[in-house]
Amino acid sequence: MGSAAVSFGRSAAPHMNDFFNERVHTDDIAATDAWLRSQYGHVDLQADDAAYSEHSVGDGSFALRRLEWRARVDVAHESDRFYICSSTPGYAWRIGQEQGEYSIEPGILQPGDDLIARADHTRVDVVAFDAEWLTRTARTVYGDETLRVRFAAAGPVSRRLRDYWLATQQWALTQIPVMSEPLVRAHLGRTLAVAALEAFALVGDPRERRASALEQASIYSSAAAWIDDHASLPVTIDDAARAAGTSVSGLRRAFAANGQISATPEGYLGLARLSAAHADLVEADPATTTVEATAARWGFADAASFVAAYRAVYRTDPETTLRR
């Protein structure tokens, strides 16, 4: 039996009060039992000695968790959010009439579900989603403001989508060292949410949702290409919307659903022009070109705003780039 009961570790990212990076470890059977009961409700610890560890990283919208069960434990737990779990051999579960083993196939636990499980010396990887956040993300992805997220079954739609989810989850785990960065976390959460919505069948008509998602992706691709081609002209997002065959509100939805570079068409247009200005500065002769003239040529009327935007993207001043 270990000498330490329960140990905790936590670090928080600056300016992100809801970010957490927490570790828990216990190698004392009484402390293990107490900790598991506090987290899962009903627990039956079937061992003369036991250890448990957990590493959780995330924020209010989603989290990545790795649980190490070095004991045989029966658990009864009512879920308050969405959890997608996979494991090494040794985690058998039942939810209503469905049952399985997380080492064979990942499974989803939904808010209000009653989980009956047996963990027997296993490691469990979990992605947890806040229910309201996942609902908002799904509404953006599918362009349906009435959508409520509810999955039709605990398991994935197909073997191919099972593998897609597992690959996405494993990639996400490699990003833990940089998850304190808000932009990394935003991209990671969005990628995992989209993978979950694709890999596990939602209640309702999947054909209609898929058609909506494909339509928005098509609008985004068309508009982004048009903006790239016309960034040197005095165009607006109204022009981009017309070129993509949609309304301005439709264009905004498409960028919100698909924009990895920018979630708005205005932001994408600004970055396209900033990229072009950067290319001009790299190639320009500082004897005949100024930063102010380059900024104005690419639609930045305020040189100070251009300098600030340039620093944020390229981590240097445009004057430095010009004079290299």
**Angle CA 74–78–79, to nearest 5:** 115
- The DSSP secondary structure of 14-63, one letter per residue, reads TT-TT-EEEEEEE-SHHHHHHHHHHHHSEEEE--SS-EEEEEEEE-SSEE
The phi and psi torsions of 18 (rounded to 5 degrees) equal -95, 0
The whole-model pTM stands at 0.66
Class of domain 6-199: mainly beta
Beta bridge partners of residue 122, listed in sequence order: 69
Say what the pLDDT of residue 7 is. Answer: 41
**Residues 194, 165: Cα–Cα separation, whole Å:** 10
Query: In the CATH hierarchy, which fold is given to the domain comprising 205-324?
Result: Arc Repressor Mutant, subunit A (1.10.10)
Domain chopping of the chain, boundaries: 6-199, 205-324
* pLDDT tens for the 324 residues of the chain, in order: 233 333 434 443 333 458 999 998 988 888 887 877 887 777 787 777 788 899 999 999 999 999 998 888 898 989 999 999 999 999 999 999 999 999 999 999 999 999 999 999 999 999 999 999 999 988 887 877 888 899 999 999 889 889 999 999 999 999 999 898 887 888 899 889 988 998 898 887 666 566 567 778 888 899 999 998 998 888 888 899 999 988 887 888 788 777 777 888 988 998 899 988 999 999 998 889 899 999 888 888 788 888 998 888 888 999 999 987
Which amino acid is it at 74?
D
